[in-house]
Structure 1
Amino acid sequence: MRGRTSALKLAAVLMESVDTVCDDFDAERHLCRVSQNCAELLDALAVGVMYTDKSSTVRIAAGSRGAELARDLLENQHLGGPCLDSYGTGHAVPPVRLASADALARWPDFTGRARERGVGMTFAVPLRARDRVLGVLNVFSADPLSPLPAAGCPHESEDADALQVARALADAAAVGLHNHRAYTGYRDLSRQLQSALTSRVRIEQAKGMLAERWRTGLDDAFEALRRYARRHRLAMDTAANMVIDGSLDDTALRGGAPERLGQPDRPPSEAL
């Protein structure tokens, strides 16, 4: 990550990762794009995200670069791996060279599988929204299978830089997911409130029509409308619409025989 071009690319990617407040947002497509951007920025073999959806189902997203490899190694971590460690602790798993004895001891199955697929180094960072872990971004690199370098060597600095870039992308992706979920919640609440308000307006309109027609109070008109709705197991809004569109006559509202203008009587079970 050197130079002005790289910095501008990272800035653009971060902006893309948080731009999620829209109705056609798709979490898997979004995280596939985040994975692809990360793989390109770090020149990694593959990058994938293991995350949970709204129903807490574990899902996998991977960029087009090394998608099959990423999916294979993420699915292989059911017995242990950097993703599970990061998800469990809520902290990053720093770069680990898979030729090391530490990697083999920590994740024997995953390490063996990753080395067979040509992966020499891996690390993982959580997608955190405040105290909640929404998923984990896992990077797979073809770093040479060699011993860890001594402190201060170039590899150490490059690993730290790569980890910071991945952390920035994971944080941005987590903010994007959190913002979209909040947006969805507020949007749904707004629609519910609008529906309730519209329903209330129709009920008030029907009350006014009945009160004027019967030359009675609004309370008496409302009570007649409510009794009819309960008797026929209808929502108040439905009964109000019937009054407004003229399909419900006064006799039916007051408990008489005819149910609707121009329609035969029906048993309550058919009115559900």
Structure 2
Amino acid sequence: MTGSTNRDLAQRMAELARAVASPRSVDDVLSDVTREVLELIPGTDAACILFVGKAGRFESVAGTSELPNELDRLQMKFNEGPCLEAALEETIVRCDDFAADPRWPRYSAAAAELGVRSGLSFKLYTSSQTAGALNLFAVKPNAFSAADENIGAVLAAHAAAAILASRHHEQLQSALSTRDRIGQAKGIIMERYNVDDVAAFDMLRRLSQDSNTKLTDIAARVIDTRGT
């Protein structure tokens, strides 16, 4: 990469890092990543992020147009393609010409028919629940270089960081919400039945066990009885 390209990349990475640290939604951050791909890797005509879940469920997000979403649907239909391979197996998957690539015969033929000739995919992460990949597409063959792979790998790392940060935030918010609901329910029981907080929590726990209902659901029901 040239000095100018390095400076541009460093500046964009700093901007994306600030975006990851901000309270913006993960969808917004991922859209920033795919937009940056178009600017930092000029050969890219479209980009998106593919999530693959259990039982073959998939979600194509942050697409810069409808084209990458259609390409992801084709991969899930044929159960083959560079994006799936990157999400589930390889770290980086590059195709210089779908019209001549034998690795994914049905998908490659369909992609070429849509006018897409090159692809470049980067693994974001793989967990027990979900796998993900950042995917770039171009209408020209041989559109991507080794330097493009380096830039894309950095962008994929930032996308992965955004996803993990968002999930941590969601888990924290869920835990705080659960604690708040249980605390409210305990307070209602303490006031209504003149018991201390230990006894109130034990009552909630027993109701949960006896009815085979989540503790948070029992707490919500108790809160709903206020004023009745």
Q: TM-score, normalised by structure 2?
A: 0.71
CA 1:119 to 1:193, structure 2 compared with 1: closer, same or farther past 3 Å?
same
Cα shift at 1:51: 1.0
SS in 1 for 2:168: helix
Q: Deviations over 1:74-133 (max 9, x none)?
A: 22223221012112215221x3211674x1x11223222333344332111111167875
**Structure 2 gap segments, 5+ residues each:** 208-217
Asked if residue 191 in structure 1 is aligned to residue 182 in structure 2, the reply is no
CA 1:55 to 1:124, structure 2 compared with 1: closer, same or farther past 3 Å?
same
Asked if residue 177 in structure 1 is aligned to residue 163 in structure 2, the reply is yes
Q: How does 1:3-22 map to 2 (within 5 A)?
A: 3=4, 4-16=7-19, 18-19=20-21, 21=23
Where does residue 83 of structure 2 map in the other structure? 83
Where does residue 112 of structure 2 map in the other structure? 115
Structure 1 counterpart of 2:14, which letter? A
SS in 1 for 2:116: coil
Q: Supply the distance in 2 between the matched residues of 1:144 and 1:19 (Cα, whole angstroms).
A: 37
Cα shift at 1:171: 1.8
Q: Supply the distance in 1 between the matched residues of 2:130 and 2:180 (Cα, whole angstroms).
A: 33
- Does structure 2 conserve the Cα–Cα contact (< 8 Å) formed by 1:87 and 1:133? no
Structure 2 counterpart of 1:34, which letter? V
Where does residue 141 of structure 1 map in the other structure? 138
SS in 2 for 1:35: helix
Paired residues, number: 205
SS in 2 for 1:106: coil
Structure 2 counterpart of 1:126, which letter? K
Q: Deviations over 1:214-262 (max 9, x none)?
A: xxxx69xx99xx8xxx9xxx989469955xxxx7xxxxxxxxxxxxxxx
Structure 2 counterpart of 1:47, which letter? A
Q: Which one of the candidate residues 55, 69, 72 is aligned to 1:71?
A: 69
SS in 1 for 2:122: strand
Structure 2 counterpart of 1:63, which letter? G
Larger Rg: 1
Q: Supply the distance in 2 between the matched residues of 1:81 and 1:129 (Cα, whole angstroms).
A: 17
Where does residue 46 of structure 1 map in the other structure? 46
Q: Supply the distance in 2 between the matched residues of 1:56 and 1:38 (Cα, whole angstroms).
A: 27
Q: Supply the distance in 2 between the matched residues of 1:187 and 1:198 (Cα, whole angstroms).
A: 16
Q: Supply the distance in 2 between the matched residues of 1:113 and 1:84 (Cα, whole angstroms).
A: 15
CA RMSD of aligned residues (A): 3.8
Cα shift at 1:52: 4.1
Q: Supply the distance in 1 between the matched residues of 2:26 and 2:59 (Cα, whole angstroms).
A: 13
CA 1:52 to 1:5, structure 2 compared with 1: closer, same or farther past 3 Å?
same
Q: Supply the distance in 1 between the matched residues of 2:176 and 2:84 (Cα, whole angstroms).
A: 37
**Structure 1 gap segments, 5+ residues each:** 146-154, 209-217, 248-272
- Does structure 2 conserve the Cα–Cα contact (< 8 Å) formed by 1:35 and 1:48? yes
